[in-house]
Amino acid sequence: MRFDPDKARDVISKLATILRRLLNSPDSFVPLREEVEFIDNYLDIEVVRFGPDKLRVVKELDPASLDVMVPSMLLQPLVENSIKHGLSSMVEGGSIYLRSRLSDSGLVIEVEDDGVGMAATQLVESTSTRGAGIGMANISERLQVLYGDTARMTIDSHEGKGTLVRIRLPLLQAMGAVPEGFYEERSSTRR
Ligand SMILES: Nc1ncnc2c1ncn2[C@@H]1O[C@H](COP(=O)(O)OP(=O)(O)OP(=O)(O)O)[C@@H](O)[C@H]1O
Ligand SMILES: [Mg+2]
């Protein structure tokens, strides 16, 4: 089968539509492992579009972090941004780093790219609900609803250098350690 860029673009745009819909469905939690598998699938399609030499993906995932429960669809909007805003205009392409580790305070997840980055004003607007997009504002709002002030998303971006988004979540292990009813109680807070 020959590679057809128009077809690939079509597939991506359909996929993005599906993802947006999922994003608006009631929140649920999944182990980080599942979220990463999902991102792998998504990236596979993007790599087809960009070519493996233009889009490099580097994963640095601490195995101990992969059982932690995270809100589903937490990372896709960030990876999408790295590709769409950070890397797509770079002729030579670039890299996305996906990292996770445990810290004293909980789970740390990072999505970083070495793309075009953001200017300071753009950075301020990026998580504002007044901004053009909904991706970042949506994540920030979901974290607030689900975790209150115990979760944090920070964005570190420099024009011409790239963008690092870091999310810190309190530790919720898959099965067992979570108080009974926790996920149910928090799973229908937003539509
Ligand atoms: N990795 C990145 N590199 C460069 N700019 C970024 C990056 N991530 C976000 N931005 C900037 O922040 C803005 C807000 O991102 P956000 O995901 O909220 O909205 P969007 O991507 O424009 O639209 P949507 O996600 O709703 O399709 C983007 O428009 C872009 O200007
Ligand atoms: Mg976006």
Q: How far is the CA of 85 from the centre of ligand 2 (A)?
A: 8
Residue 187 forms part of a structural domain: no
Looking at per-residue pLDDT, the higher value among 55 and 179 belongs to 55
134-169 tens-digit pLDDT: 899 999 999 999 999 999 999 999 999 999 999 999
Residue 13 belongs to a domain with what CATH number? 3.30.565.10
Instruction: State residue 187's pLDDT score.
Output: 53
Which residue has tokens 């059982």?
67
Instruction: State residue 77's pLDDT score.
Output: 93
Residue 125 forms part of a structural domain: yes
pTM, two decimal places: 0.82
Instruction: State residue 130's pLDDT score.
Output: 66
Residue 112 forms part of a structural domain: yes
Residue 37 forms part of a structural domain: yes
Residue 24 forms part of a structural domain: yes
- Token output for 151: 């979760």
Ligand 1, atom 24, residue with closest C-alpha? 133
Residue 185 forms part of a structural domain: no
Atom from ligand 1 closest to the CA of residue 137: 18
Question: Could you please report the per-residue DSSP string of 36-80?
Answer: HHHHHHHHHHHHHHH-TTTEEEEEEE-GGGTTBEEETTSSHHHHH
Q: How many domains, in total, are found in the chain? A: 1
Residue 85 forms part of a structural domain: yes
For helices 5-24 and 32-50, the axis angle rounded to 10 degrees is 150
**Cβ count near 59 (within 10 Å):** 13
